[in-house]
Amino acid sequence: MAPITCKVVDFSMTPIQGIYALLECKDHDGNEFAKYESFSDDGGNIHYWFDCILADKPQELIPRIVDVLHCPRVTLTFYPGLKTAYFPWINIQTDVQLLDKGGHEFILSIRANAANYSLDHAVIPALLPGNTEMDWEGPRRNKRWSISTWDPLDRPPL
């Protein structure tokens, strides 16, 4: 199993609870075939996703682990502005092809009342078949990508 997970923290690495996230799973051509939603827990983590359902079609909410092996491309959108105006962004979005078959963790670091955030992506070795225990603090490969914003009044990074 190779899960898609998230963590939301502030710049001092303090977890932020209650940030809404939307995960759109897409095929290789970019066609959406599944949509999930979740909120960060008290540790800032999103390990489980719930089917995105319409209000007029009530369903039982079943927590799911979204597996990378069935989802080659995702659009992930965080909505920090829904929690509080403390965060200046309505949403923060990334569209990623999941080329590695390990688990993928997205780490959103946001600074309140400031014009910057960082969105990091880490690949976690895949879990062995039959092993459903997730060691979120375990070793991670060093492969990381980072997307950061900066104050437009500052000079852009070189």
CB atoms within 10 A of CB 24: 20
Helix (H, G, I), strand (E, B) or coil at 80: helix
- Per the CB < 8 A criterion, the answer to whether 31 and 23 are in contact is no
Those residues of the chain that have pLDDT short of 50 are 128, 130-146, 149-153, 155-156, 158
CB atoms within 10 A of CB 3: 22
CB atoms within 10 A of CB 45: 18
Amino acid 143: pLDDT: 43
Please state which CATH number belongs to domain 4-148.
Answer: 2.60.40.180
